[in-house]
Amino acid sequence: MKNYIVHDAWKVIEKGFFAQNNKISESLCSIGNGKMGQRANFEEQYTGATLRGSYVAGLYYPDKTRVGWWKNGYPEYFAKVLNATNWIGIDVQVNGEILDLAKWKVIDFYRELDMQKGLLSRSFIAENGKGEQVKVSSRRFLSMRESDAGAIEYSVTALNFDGNLRIEPYLDGDVFNEDANYDEKFWTEISKERSAAKNTGLLLMETKKTQFRLATAMQIDLLKNGQNHNIELKVISRDKYVSNVYQTEIQKGDTVTVFKYVVNAASIHFATETMVEDAKLILDRIHKKGFEILLAEHIEKWKEIWDDADVIIEGDVAAQQGIRFNIFQLYQTYTGEDERLNIGPKGFTGEKYGGVTYWDTEAYCLPFYLKTTDAQVARNLLIYRYKHLQKAIENAEKLGFKNGAALYPMVTINGEECHNEWEITFEEIHRNGAIAHAIFKYINYTGDEYYLAEYGLEVLIAISRFWKQRVNWSEDKQKYVMLGVTGPNEYENNVNNNWYTNTVAKWTLQYTLDGMEKVKSKHPELFKSILKKVKFNQFEDTDEAGAWFDIIDNMYFPVDEVRNVFLQQDGFLDKIIEPVTALPVNERPINQNWSWDRILRSCYIKQADVLQGLYFLENQYDMDTIRRNFDFYEPITVHESSLSPCVHSILAARLGYKEKAYELYLRTSRLDLDDYNNDTEDGCHITSMAGTWMSVVEGFAGLRNEGDTLFLRPFLPDQWEAFSFTIQFRSARLKLSIQHKTITIENISKVNVSLVLFDEKHIIPAGETLKQNIEGSVIAL
């Protein structure tokens, strides 16, 4: 746990240079625009601890799998999003000495990420061994409007000396991934261009094996004391590198400012034959606009996002900063315009998890995008999986399943499984359930029933086929059982009858059957063609629906009759059940202190498992059931996945455990800002950030929906004075504000909205406001 980030409602601020925390700050202050991201590395050279990272979405490398012991069925490679051409670099030399904050004395260091503007800035004074001082200030952003472009303003002032200043803005494609399995470099240079006359440079790089191309183009403007400046200029190029070098004599008080405009044109967005020319055209356009106009456009775009997605918390700056940080990072990572892209657990802020897609997207991120923006964004996330359906069928075939059964990968970028730990790759199959449930969530929230006919049903049928083949009939139990699985709680492996997995399997079968009925009655022609396409009842199984009904009716679920709770898996009660509070503090987190076998034998739970099921399917269980299970499982949960506290916080809020809900909320909301788990240097926990937002909206505000009716059951945490947010619901937009005594719901849209506040039904006409006091009586409508 660290506490060096200054609390501020809109900014992430580091005052003073904390070299030991540099990699953390680099993660925290990362910038991105959905298409690419950049850690908050310094522009100038830095020989201290750093993880240099510029990542371009969708460009990956199939890094050959590395395991101690090969198991049949392991994927051949782990696809990882690549560290790409370093576009930010600007080397500085003062009288021949390289500016390097690891070697120079650093005075008045200040790094700031302005989340309202999406702008990273930095300033400091640095002093070399001769006492020569320079003042440096920089600003940079990756444009939300010009989504292939970024810009940097970098100024150097001579504070107390006259002499020579050498500035070298460059593009460097000779980069590596820290997480490369065999220390291999993934890029080769195809070509480069440079022009001293135009102050431009361009590097065209290509990935090995996958042959993705990236054309990075830069243009430099140089000013001395605010005036355009022509100075001696030299172009340097070596393999994978191109730079323009500026040398000038400066006097005490002089300031030299570099504007570096950059375009990263990736071959997934541009045709290979034209991408270099395209990059140059965009570069020309952004250069003509200039830094301030580009920045103003970028801020305008962020304003639109904030208007839709902001959560305002009054009376608690730390909480305000926390929630905005989460929203900001999510929108930097994924903007939802391109259905080929998705959300890696670390986004563009680090390399852990390879930038690839997990079940996190469907289970955690989808509800955030559903409620904060246009439905098309969540739809694109679903279509991503639809497009991977054939690969998911092939993935299942590799493991011996057949007849159109699909097992979606635990991690993927192109649809193929990349994960190579047997207990997860082969056994953590509950991911299929989250993908099916996401279809339900989307349709339930948006009302876009046609999605089912257009895409959803095919996916559901393929997943249902998988469940059908994955269960087996137990003569002993006279029930269907599911053996050898890992549930969401990865602190148990190879268990039988994980309650959550059995539950989502049964749920999927039922939802698929219901979906088939709906599509059949509403779109009979389409229904016929879907059945034909998936060869329904045409494989060995001639009554697929009948087989699914049989499983639904006869699925086995472990329960504890005495406590009246669902059991996480068979045999769970053989464990010694002791609360987390009995654990010595110095043994936590247990994943860093205990041997794996000890973790597996213990009762301790990494993240919501039974409770994940109760969260997903809350409307199927009464409050007493949820309470009994929460009271049993939460005290033995160590929350060592960042995905854990939010689900517990939401359930706690639902149960009226307000303090618990708030305590768990705090663990997610500032997880990265305070480096709670000691791992922010690897990157931020992007996917769990959506869970933080859900803790506010689904937890504290108690928002649910069934069909076109919204339900709200808000409360205000004691530590806050008020909180408010806006949601998108079908064609309506509502602004909710929860104060100590009143709840205000403004219908800021053109349609009437019907909602149930606590237990009372209201219709709020378009443009009207409902104001109610917390005891329930309506003040005004």
Enumerate the active-site residues: 490
Least distance to ligand BGC, CB of residue 424, Å: 8
676 interacts with ligand BGC by CB under 6 A? no
Minimum distance from CB of 120 to ligand BGC (Å)?
25
CB of 649 to ligand BGC, least distance (A): 17
Query: Which segments within 115-226 are labelled E, that is strand?
Result: 119-127, 133-142, 149-158, 163-172, 187-195, 200-207, 213-224
Q: How many CB atoms lie within 10 A of CB 54?
A: 26
If the CB atoms of residues 689 and 710 are measured against ligand BGC, the closer one turns out to be 689
Strand partners, 245: 234
| CB 668, min distance to ligand BGC, A | 13
Q: How far is the CB of 384 from ligand BGC (least distance, A)?
A: 16
For ligand BGC, the closer CB: 50 or 687: 687
Backbone phi, psi, residue 197, to 5°: -65, -40
Which residue minimizes CB distance to ligand BGC? 345
> What are the residues facing 128 on neighbouring strands?
none
Query: Site for ligand BGC (CB under 6 A): which residue of 345, 613, 714, 717?
Result: 345
Min CB(685)–ligand BGC separation in Å? 7
Between 448 and 679, whose beta carbon lies closer to ligand BGC?
679
622-635: b or e for each residue (b if 16 or more CB lie within 10 Å)? eeeebbbbbebbbe
How far apart are CB 430 and ligand BGC at their closest, in Å?
A: 9
What is the total count of residues that contact ligand BGC (CB under 6 A)?
A: 12
Does 687 interact with ligand BGC (rule: CB under 6 A)? Answer: yes
| Binding-residue pattern over the window 127 to 156 for ligand BGC, x denoting contact by CB under 6 A | ------------------------------
Stretch that binds ligand BGC, among 201-209, 357-365, 493-501, 738-746 (CB under 6 A): 357-365
Considering the complex, what minimum distance in angstroms separates the CB of residue 360 from ligand BGC? 5
Work out whether the CA dihedral 321, 322, 324, 329 comes out positive or negative: positive
The CA R_g of the chain, rounded to the nearest whole Å, is 28
**How far, in Å, CA of 159 to CA of 255, rounded?**
9
Does the protein bind ligand BGC through residue 351 (CB under 6 A)? no
Nearer to ligand BGC, 206 or 609 (CB): 609
Instruction: Collapse the DSSP code of 233 into the 3-class scheme (helix H, G, I; strand E, B; otherwise coil) and give the result.
Output: strand
How far is Cα 516 from Cα 460, in angstroms, rounded to an integer? 9
User: Closer to ligand BGC at the Cβ: 146 or 490?
Assistant: 490
Q: Which residue type sits at 95?
A: N
Main-chain phi, psi angles of 43, to 5 degrees: -70, -45
Of 471-510, binders to ligand BGC (CB under 6 A) are 488, 490
Nearer to ligand BGC (CB atom), residue 27 or residue 641: 641
Residue 273, C-beta contacts closer than 8 angstroms, at least 6 positions apart: none
CB of 401 to ligand BGC, least distance (A): 22
Give residue 684's Cα distance to chain centre.
9
Residue 424 neighbours by CB under 8 Å, 6+ apart: 410, 486, 490
**Binds ligand BGC (CB under 6 A): choice among 44, 168, 206, 360:** 360
Nearer to ligand BGC, 143 or 602 (CB): 602
Reduced to 3 states (helix: H, G, I; strand: E, B; else coil), residue 324 is helix
Residue number, 551 or 647, with CB nearest to ligand BGC: 647
CB of 162 to ligand BGC, least distance (A): 54
Mark the segment that binds ligand BGC (CB under 6 A) among 95-103, 154-162, 351-359, 667-675.
351-359
* Contact status, residue 227 vs residue 180, Cβ threshold 8 Å: no
Closer residue to ligand BGC, CB minimum distance, 242 or 366: 366
Q: Which of 30, 498, 569, 607 binds ligand BGC (CB under 6 A)?
A: 607
- Strands (E) in 1-104, as ranges, are 5-6, 11-15, 31-32, 36-38, 54-64, 77-83, 90-94, 97-98
Candidate segments 354-362, 617-625, 690-698, 773-781, binder of ligand BGC by CB under 6 A: 354-362
Scan for tokens 């690549």, then name that residue.
Answer: 82
173 forms part of the interface with ligand BGC (CB under 6 A): no
Q: Quote the CA–CA distance of 122 and 164 in Å, as a whole number.
A: 23
Q: Cα separation of 76 and 596, whole Å?
A: 26
Q: Where are the alpha helices (DSSP H) in 486-642?
A: 499-522, 524-533, 544-554, 590-593, 596-601, 610-616, 623-633
Shortest reach from residue 643's CB to ligand BGC, in Å: 5
Q: What are 345's strand-pairing partners?
A: none
Helix (H), strand (E) at residue 236? strand 232-238
Write out the E strands in 660-752.
Answer: 704-706, 709-712, 722-729, 732-739, 742-747
Q: For the stretch 261-291, what's the b/e string if a residue is b when 16 or more beta carbons lie within 10 angstroms of its beta carbon?
A: bbbbbbbebbeeeebbebbbebbbebbebeb
Calculate ∠ Cα 66-604-563, nearest 5°: 140
Length of the chain equals 781
Among 186, 359, 633, 693, which residue sits at the site for ligand BGC (rule: CB under 6 A)? 359
Q: Which of residues 635-664 bind ligand BGC (CB under 6 A)?
A: 641, 643
Stretch that binds ligand BGC, among 272-280, 352-360, 697-705, 706-714 (CB under 6 A): 352-360
8 A C-beta contact, residue 31 and residue 140: yes
**Smaller CB distance to ligand BGC: residue 39 or 606?**
606
- CB closer to ligand BGC out of 146 and 428: 428
Q: Is 358 in the site for ligand BGC (CB under 6 A)?
A: yes
**Contact by Cβ (8 Å): 130, 50:** no
- For 374, counting Cβ atoms within 10 Å of its Cβ (0-12 exposed, 13-18 middle, 19+ buried), the class is middle
3-state secondary structure of 634: helix
CA dist 48 → 21, 44, 293 (Å): 11, 12, 35
For ligand BGC, give the closer residue by CB, 372 or 607: 607
Q: Are 399 and 416 in contact (CB under 8 A)?
A: no
The rounded distance, in Å, linking the Cα atoms of 673 and 224 is: 37
Q: Cβ closer to ligand BGC: 287 or 419? A: 419
CB of 309 to ligand BGC, least distance (A): 22
Phi and psi at residue 634, to the nearest 5°: -60, -45
Least distance in Å: CB of 688 to ligand BGC? 7
In the chain, how long is the greatest CA-to-CA distance?
Answer: 90
Q: Which residues bind ligand BGC (CB under 6 A)?
A: 345, 353, 358-360, 488, 490, 606-607, 641, 643, 687
